[in-house]
Copies of this chain bind each other. A is one copy, B any other.
Amino acid sequence: MKIGVAGIGTVGVGVIKILQSHAELLKDRCGQELEVVAVSGRDQTKDRGVSLDGMTWYTNAVDMVSDPNVEMILELIGGSEGVAKDLCVAALKAGKPVVTANKALIAVHGTELATLAEKNDAPLNYEAAVAGGIPIVKAMREGLSGNAISRVYGILNGTCNYILTEMEETGGDFDAILSDAQALGYAEADPSFDVDGVDAAHKLAILTSIAFGTPVDFDNVYIEGIREVSALDIAFAKEFGYRIRLLGVARKNNGGIEQRVHPCMVRKDTAIANVSGVFNAVVAEGDFVDSTVYEGRGAGEGPTASAVVADIVDVAAGRISPTFGIPVGRLKAIPTMPVESHVGCYYVRLTVLDLPGVIADISATFRDEEISIESLLQHGRAPEEEVSVVLTTHEVKEDALLRALSKIEKFDHSLAKPRMIRIAKL
């Protein structure tokens, strides 16, 4: 199998390293030799630590498709538009298999690409797009095929998980830990894609499609990042027996689908709470298999390249799955449930003046919205000073909680916007 690699950064180099160092093993595993015959990148002269000898260099990746020597395309350029998309479209139209690590592309144009793949009988694999080295796409498309999935959720962004874990361990605040993470290479110079939850949302949209047999619907993912999570929230979470994780959750619920990415309180004895640092983890719940958990490194040269190579081996061995597990024509749109209709328990932190009657006013507001308080903490400071009132609720519909918080925000003794974090029911 002769391969063209488009985009020769970290992942591309990792893939070439695997193909070169495990050549014999891979031949045993897929029944044929895997050879990179063409490469495309920005700078041909750069030393990348791997030999590109004998590979044809393309300045324009799309031109690789018409190279008769190239039988399979690896798209490792990234981004949902531009060359990455053009390349995949061209390759699939030419009937050439595509393997990509591009979560944005699949999340935004997945259905269109799947349609092309099917029409031209060309496989489209993207294991590396979700949770790096963890073979979760394979598990969902094939390993759990005997199940109707009811919920899939997980830690889908290693940068956020690293920051939250460090905040928990050091007591530091978001900004300081983010700077450290940037210095260590765990966060980008512009971290917004990660810390604002967009990256996790791309991955969640893909998992949702495979889990429920729906067209990918990235636009309807509710997204909330981790910038607002404070050291105070993390400390209170601990006091209540929780940790804070950025979760992506997709769930079938009353005929609709919830897709949401936001910080969650997770009970500290759950598998998810024990996933630390840059690791990712996904939990898939099926009607026969019950709960299954998958954990591993969600990014980095080796893990991402591992996933890409597994996809290549599958194609070379002739093990083909429909892009989202079922034929495109069988994908059924399912309405999105707005996050306001979510029913769950909540953590709330209020910043108020420590005056007589404050707690009474707060409790009355919750009562009026029929919200039942499960526990309440007030760490006393001096009277008439700023104080945090922290509480958790029993199950309540999110819009009722939001109404209560909006009323409380308008109190005279309210000193800051109330903070709310959803408590995950795992």
The CA of A142 and the CA of B18, in the complex, are separated in Å by 15
Which chain A residues numbered 268 to 323 have a C-beta less than 8 Å away from chain B? 269, 271, 274, 281, 286-297, 302-303, 305-310, 313-314, 317-322
A-B contact pairs, 27 of them (CB 8 A): A14-B288, A17-B288, A18-B147, A22-B146, A25-B148, A29-B145, A133-B286, A133-B288, A133-B289, A133-B292, A135-B138, A138-B142, A139-B139, A144-B306, A146-B305, A271-B274, A271-B295, A288-B305, A288-B309, A289-B297, A289-B302, A290-B303, A292-B294, A292-B296, A293-B294, A293-B296, A319-B319
Q: Is A377 an interface residue (CB 8 A)?
A: no
Q: Are B289 and A303 in contact (CB under 8 A)?
A: yes
- Cβ-neighbour of A290 out of B292, B297, B327 (below 8 A): B297
Q: Which residues of B contact A303 (CB under 8 A)?
A: 288-290
Instruction: Please give the count of copies of this chain that the complex contains.
Output: 2
Task: Looking at the assembled complex, report how far the CB atom of A146 sits from the nearest CB atom of chain B, in whole angstroms.
Answer: 3
Q: Are B313 and A133 in contact (CB under 8 A)?
A: no
User: Which label, helix, strand, loop or mixed, suits the secondary structure of the A interface?
Assistant: mixed
With known contacts A28-B327, A28-B330, A302–B288 Cβ distance under 8 A: yes
Which chain A residues numbered 24 to 56 have a C-beta less than 8 Å away from chain B? 25-26, 28-31
Q: Which residues of B contact A25 (CB under 8 A)?
A: 148, 213, 326
The CA of A321 and the CA of B262, in the complex, are separated in Å by 39
Of the four ranges (under 10, 10 to 19, 20 to 34, 35 or more), the interface on chain A belongs to 35 or more
The CA of A5 and the CA of B120, in the complex, are separated in Å by 37
Q: Are B142 and A310 in contact (CB under 8 A)?
A: yes
- A binding-site residues for B, Cβ under 8 Å: 14, 17-18, 22, 25-26, 28-31, 127, 133-135, 138-139, 142-148, 213, 269, 271, 274, 281, 286-297, 302-303, 305-310, 313-314, 317-322, 325-327, 330
The CA of A164 and the CA of B139, in the complex, are separated in Å by 29
Q: Which residues of B contact A307 (CB under 8 A)?
A: 146, 289
Q: Are B321 and A317 in contact (CB under 8 A)?
A: yes
Q: Which residues of B contact A310 (CB under 8 A)?
A: 142-146
Q: Which residues of B contact A146 (CB under 8 A)?
A: 18, 22, 26, 305-310, 313
Q: Are B293 and A325 in contact (CB under 8 A)?
A: no
Most chain B Cβ neighbours within 10 Å, of A135, A145, A321? A145
The CA of A325 and the CA of B145, in the complex, are separated in Å by 20
Q: Are B321 and A318 in contact (CB under 8 A)?
A: no
With known contacts A148-B25, A289-B133, A330-B28, A294–B294 Cβ distance under 8 A: yes
Task: Looking at the assembled complex, report how far the CB atom of A301 sits from the nearest CB atom of chain B, in whole angstroms.
Answer: 8
Task: Looking at the assembled complex, report how far the CB atom of A99 sits from the nearest CB atom of chain B, in whole angstroms.
Answer: 12
Q: Which residues of B contact A143 (CB under 8 A)?
A: 127, 135, 138-139, 310
The CA of A14 and the CA of B146, in the complex, are separated in Å by 11
Q: Which residues of B contact A292 (CB under 8 A)?
A: 133-135, 294-297
The CA of A294 and the CA of B148, in the complex, are separated in Å by 20
- Cβ-neighbour of A309 out of B145, B274, B294 (below 8 A): B145
Residue of B nearest to A312 (CB): B146
Q: Are A296 and B291 in contact (CB under 8 A)?
A: yes
The 6 A-B residue pairs whose C-beta atoms are closest, nearest first, are: A135-B143, A146-B309, A292-B296, A133-B289, A28-B326, A289-B306
Q: Which residues of B contact A327 (CB under 8 A)?
A: 28, 31
Residue of B nearest to A133 (CB): B289
